[in-house]
Amino acid sequence: MDSPSSSSVIIVGAGVSGLSAAKVLIENGVEDVVILEASDRIGGRIRKQDFGGVSVELGAGWIVGVGGRELNPVLDLALKSNLRTIFSDYSNARYNIYDRSGKIFPRGLVEETYKKEVESAVQKLQKLKKLEAGGGDFSNVTEPPTTQKTPIELAIDFTLHDFEMPEVEPISTFLDYGEREFLVADERGYEHMLYKMAEDVLFTSEGKLLDSRLKFNKVPESHPSHDSKLDLGQVVRELQHSRSGVTVMTEDGCVFQANYMILSVSIGVLQSNLIAFNPPLPRWKTEAIQKCDVIVYTKIFLKFPYKFWPCGPGQEFFLYAHERRGYYTFWQLAANLLPCHQHMENAYPGSNMLVVTLTNGESKRVEAQSDKETLNEAMAALKDMFGPDIPEAADILVPRWWNNRFQRGSYSNYPMISDNQFVHDIKNPVGRLFFTGEHTSEKFSGYVHGGHLAGIETGKALLEEMEKEKERTSESENQAFLLEPLLALTGSLSLTQNDAVSSLKCDIPKRSYLSGKVGIAELCYD
């Protein structure tokens, strides 16, 4: 085996958080970073794929939080990289709710049901908060309601709770950045923004990232010249960490060493056994990791020979009210194509695509079955809504975020009632291991901007720690230098300067990230 490659910092994962952390470090003079990415691409959960002749976003599709008192940093990046986005208005979705006989529910009933569902959600939250304040047991309050809901209630409940709820109330994204959402509608994909960001600090040529510090499979598996023996993705499988540094072993037997590590893998990966920690992570860390929920959110793309669904302003989204909660409920006209928008129609004429969103249990269920079965189910739902004569879909794309071992889900969801300790434990470092990723963002977990800001914050925290370590090292060297005459007098002349330095090292206190004292290795974790 070659001798291990050594650097100041290893970053595991080249999603938005890992790349943002790398940028902070490199811009501040820490040039010798190594980024290990398991897959054949950067971007992680920001991921486009060609389908039906266009490029679709399998992962993040929206910039959430626009139009508020502050500029969403991801919108800022998007503007700087000339990413094309369009305003996305969900507010009309609830007026296009179809029952199983193809009838649209009347507005009055929709308004009434919507109001009732919102009120019941608010009451539940208030009840939880009261119970929490009183130190009560609130486990049964979070259980699904026992009373049978009607299909329309289930459809509205689904869009209120499962569809897009990666944050706990109050929703900081909306408070800080505004309540509007912009859909990325760019053939280069959302990931173009990341390439542009990475370009500032990593070497690129002809639009490709060629920097040797970024280690991933540079030839996509689908490409004819792909040789799995030559240029493997760097799947981290074991992580040894101590007071003096970290060592990483990858699946293909490479070894990397560094003074510090930033781990940006998802909460789902941390909950899985993909990476072995040696010594194991302390209990406060593993408990926080296990406590965090993972949402599975799946956008299924269907390509048709022609459009058979209604088009026009306010009809970009429609719901299917079924007696099974979350069963092919939320539909939209193809994510980055929106043929009903005049300007998009001109850009991508005739995409003829629909997207249906499934979550959690339903996502896992369809991941486990064949795409043909999923296609049949989706077609049956569409026939209920639009009649038996609609054309068969020509193709289907079913992303599998849950079964992807480098993701194990779509995004984190903090427990409804999460105390400060939980939030701190999720992100606090363990000795020389720093944790980042959307799940470590106290205010914006779940979102692209959460990942981006978490990466920046972790990068800065590590810089601070490196500075402190430098100060500690020079202090102990000075002390050793001052001690030399004393040691000579006491006859300990055989003691070398290094021995003197190491004998002076004191036990360093337990880390305290949030108080601004980013600490160093703990000997005893629990």
Ligand X SMILES: Cc1cc2nc3c(=O)[nH]c(=O)nc-3n(C[C@H](O)[C@H](O)[C@H](O)COP(=O)(O)OP(=O)(O)OC[C@H]3O[C@@H](n4cnc5c(N)ncnc54)[C@H](O)[C@@H]3O)c2cc1C
- Closest CB to ligand X among residues 199, 522: 199
46 counts as binding ligand X under rule CB under 6 A: yes
Binding residue for ligand X, selected from 249, 269, 338, 381, defined by CB under 6 A: 269
Q: Judge residue 131's burial from the number of C-beta atoms within 10 Å of its C-beta, 0-12 exposed, 13-18 middle, 19 or more buried.
A: middle
Is 447 a residue that touches ligand X (CB under 6 A)?
Answer: yes
H/E element, 249: strand 246-250
Torsion of the alpha carbons at 199, 201, 202 and 206, rounded to the nearest 10:
30
Does 56 engage in binding with ligand X (CB under 6 A)? no
Residue indicated by tokens 């289930």 = 154
Q: Name which position in 9, 10, 11, 17 contacts ligand X (CB under 6 A).
A: 17
189 forms part of the interface with ligand X (CB under 6 A)? no
Q: Which residues 298-317 are close enough to bind ligand X by CB under 6 A?
A: 299
One of 297, 327, 331, 434 touching ligand X (CB under 6 A): 297
For position 402 contacting ligand X by CB under 6 A, the verdict is: no
Query: What are the φ and ψ backbone dihedral angles of 464, each rounded to 5 degrees?
Result: -60, -45
Angstrom distance (rounded) from CA 244 to CA 248: 14
Candidates 26, 97, 110, 235: give the one binding ligand X (CB under 6 A). Answer: 235
In whole angstroms, the minimum distance from the beta carbon of 213 to ligand X comes to: 14
d(CA 291, CA 281): 15
Contact between 60 and ligand X by CB under 6 A: the answer reads yes
Of 32-40, 100-108, 347-355, 515-523: span binding ligand X (CB under 6 A): 32-40
Whether the CB-CB separation of 210 and 100 falls below 8 Å is answered with no
Question: Residue from 85, 266, 332, 351 that binds ligand X (CB under 6 A)?
Answer: 266
Q: How far apart are CB 271 and ligand X at their closest, in Å?
A: 12
For the chain, the straight-line distance linking the first and the last C-alpha, in angstroms and rounded, comes to 36
Residue 236 marked in a binding site: yes
Tokens of 139: 């486990």
One-character DSSP codes across 90-133: -TTGGG-EE-TTSPBPPHHHHHHHHHHHHHHHHHHHHHHHHHHH
From the list 10, 24, 30, 38, which residue makes contact with ligand X (rule: CB under 6 A)? 38
Contact 261, 433 (CB under 8 A): yes
Q: Pick the binder of ligand X from 44, 151, 245, 459 (CB under 6 A).
A: 44
432 — phi, psi (to 5°)?
A: -90, 0
296 versus 518: smaller Cβ distance to ligand X: 296
Binding of ligand X by 66 (CB under 6 A): no
- Binding residue for ligand X (CB under 6 A) from 172, 257, 264, 332? 264
Contacts 24+ apart (CB under 8 A), 440-445: 440/17, 443/172, 443/173, 443/176, 444/167, 444/172, 444/173, 445/166, 445/167, 445/411, 445/412, 445/413, 445/414
If binding is defined by CB under 6 A, does position 438 make contact with ligand X?
yes
Q: Does 236 bind ligand X (CB under 6 A)?
A: yes
Cα angle vertex 91, ends 16, 352, to 5°? 70
Does position 15 bind ligand X by CB under 6 A?
Answer: yes
Cα–Cα distance measured from residue 302 to residue 353, given in angstroms and rounded to the nearest whole number: 6
Instruction: Report whether 75 contacts 87 (CB < 8 A).
Output: no
Q: Which of residues 409-428 bind ligand X (CB under 6 A)?
A: 410-411
Question: DSSP labels for 472-504?
Answer: HHHHHHHHHHHHHHHHHHTT-TT--HHHHHHHH
**Residue 37, annotated ligand binder?**
yes
* Residue closer to ligand X, measured from CB, 95 or 406: 406
Element (H, E) at 87: strand 85-88
Of 254 and 265, nearer to ligand X (C-beta) is 265
Binding of residue 519 to ligand X (CB under 6 A): no
Q: How many residues touch ligand X (CB under 6 A)? A: 42
Which residue's CB is nearer to ligand X, number 336 or number 418? 336
- Give least dist CB 328 to ligand X, A: 16
Contact status: 265 vs ligand X (CB under 6 A): yes
265 has binding-site annotation: no
Q: Does 48 bind ligand X (CB under 6 A)?
A: no
Query: Scanning the structure block, which residue is given the tokens 């004569």?
Result: 389
- Which residue's CB is nearer to ligand X, number 28 or number 272? 272
User: Smaller CB distance to ligand X: residue 73 or 437?
Assistant: 437
Using CB under 6 A as the binding rule, whether residue 37 contacts ligand X is answered as yes
444, with CB counted inside 10 A (0-12, 13-18, 19+), is: buried
Query: Does residue 111 have a known ligand-binding role?
Result: no
Question: Is residue 12 within the footprint of ligand X (CB under 6 A)?
Answer: yes
Residues flagged as binding site: 17, 37-38, 236
Give me the residues that bind ligand X (CB under 6 A), please.
Answer: 12-18, 36-39, 44-46, 59-62, 64, 234-236, 264-266, 269, 274-275, 297, 299, 401, 406-407, 410-411, 437-438, 446-448, 450-451
As annotated, the binding site for FAD includes: 17, 37-38, 236
